[in-house]
């Protein structure tokens, strides 16, 4: 990157393209979150969630608020039976990770990280007492808020990592829109899965859902699209 020459035309792209996409996103998100609310209502009817879908005005950026939907239902404190079953599952999963062949070492490490996080949660609930410090509604609101911020940051991330390379402006624009659009659809579905699993399995799984299947998945999606875009670049011709 240090050897890349940046002509004025590409410098203009650095400013005009990301700022235009961010402004467009800020104008579009009030309508997008309305669609998220409709999606949550549909999922509630199909999955028969208790409670209702509530809307709260959340400050996403300074002086920028969005109506973020969430479920009023909450998760339960883990029972002794759930904790014993979780402990056995952790033990079995760890043994499986030890028996995997060498070519699957990355998967084995991933399984062990999952076991470590869940074991920490198990130790906490073994000694803690009710009520839990968090509730499911605030948790889902936090996921959606973080998702919105992540989507808004994509043009800036691509500006300093992708736009500086020689690539057609149309391709830069297309890749950025596809990445933002994919996350716009993925994030409410991801949040719905989190709400369903935590409600069904109690607060015991909240930490592993957040650390293993939360924001890190959004980041991996961005990296995947970035890698795809870099496959279009001839790095020998900066």
Which pLDDT score, from 0 to 100, does residue 16 have?
A: 85
- Of 199, 78, 75, nearest in space to 129 by CA: 78
Distances (CA, A) of 57 to 34, 69, 120, 163: 12, 9, 33, 34
Tokens read off for 174: 């297309």
State the burial class of residue 153 (Cβ atoms within 10 Å of its Cβ: 0-12, 13-18, 19+).
middle
The pLDDT profile of the chain, 238 residues, written as one tens digit per residue, is 566 666 666 666 677 888 999 999 999 999 999 999 999 999 999 999 999 999 999 999 899 999 999 999 999 999 999 999 999 999 999 999 999 999 999 999 999 999 999 999 999 999 998 888 889 999 999 999 999 999 999 999 998 888 877 788 888 899 999 999 999 999 999 999 999 999 999 999 999 999 999 999 999 999 999 999 988 887 665 5
Distances (CA, A) of 76 to 121, 200, 201, 207: 14, 8, 8, 14
State the burial class of residue 102 (Cβ atoms within 10 Å of its Cβ: 0-12, 13-18, 19+).
exposed
CA pair distance 227, 61, nearest whole angstrom: 29
| H helices present in the chain, as ranges | 8-47, 80-99, 105-127, 136-161, 169-201, 206-213, 215-230
Q: Hey, is 3 helix, strand or coil? A: coil
Which pLDDT score, from 0 to 100, does residue 222 have?
A: 96
Tell me if the pTM is above 0.85: yes
Which pLDDT score, from 0 to 100, does residue 162 have?
A: 84
* Cβ-proximal residues to 40 (8 Å cutoff; 6+ apart), any chain: 53, 69, 70, 71, 188, 192
Tokens read off for 103: 């070519």
């Amino acid at each position: 990157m240090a050897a890349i020459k940046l002509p004025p035309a590409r410098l203009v792209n650095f400013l005009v393209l990301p700022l235009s996409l961010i402004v467009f996103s800020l104008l579009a998100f009030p309508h997008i979150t309305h669609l998220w609310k409709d999606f949550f209502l549909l999922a509630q009817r199909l999955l028969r969630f208790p409670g209702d879908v509530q809307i709260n005005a959340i400050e996403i950026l300074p002086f920028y608020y969005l109506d973020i939907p969430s479920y009023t239902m909450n998760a339960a404190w883990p029972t002794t039976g759930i904790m014993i079953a979780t402990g056995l599952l952790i033990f079995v999963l760890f043994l499986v990770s030890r028996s995997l062949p060498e070519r699957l070492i990355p998967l084995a490490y991933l399984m062990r990280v999952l076991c470590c996080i869940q074991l920490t949660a198990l130790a906490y609930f073994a000694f803690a007492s009710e009520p839990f410090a968090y509730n499911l509604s605030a948790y889902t609101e936090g996921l959606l808020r973080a998702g919105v911020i992540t989507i808004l940051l994509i043009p800036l991330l691509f500006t300093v990592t992708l736009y500086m390379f020689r690539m057609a402006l149309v391709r830069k624009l297309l890749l950025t829109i596809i990445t933002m659009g994919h996350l716009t659809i993925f994030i409410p579905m991801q949040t719905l899965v989190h709400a369903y699993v935590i409600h069904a399995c109690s607060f015991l799984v909240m930490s592993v859902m957040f650390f293993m299947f939360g924001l890190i998945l959004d980041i991996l999606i961005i990296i995947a699209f970035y890698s795809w875009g870099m496959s279009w670049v001839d790095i020998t011709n900066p």
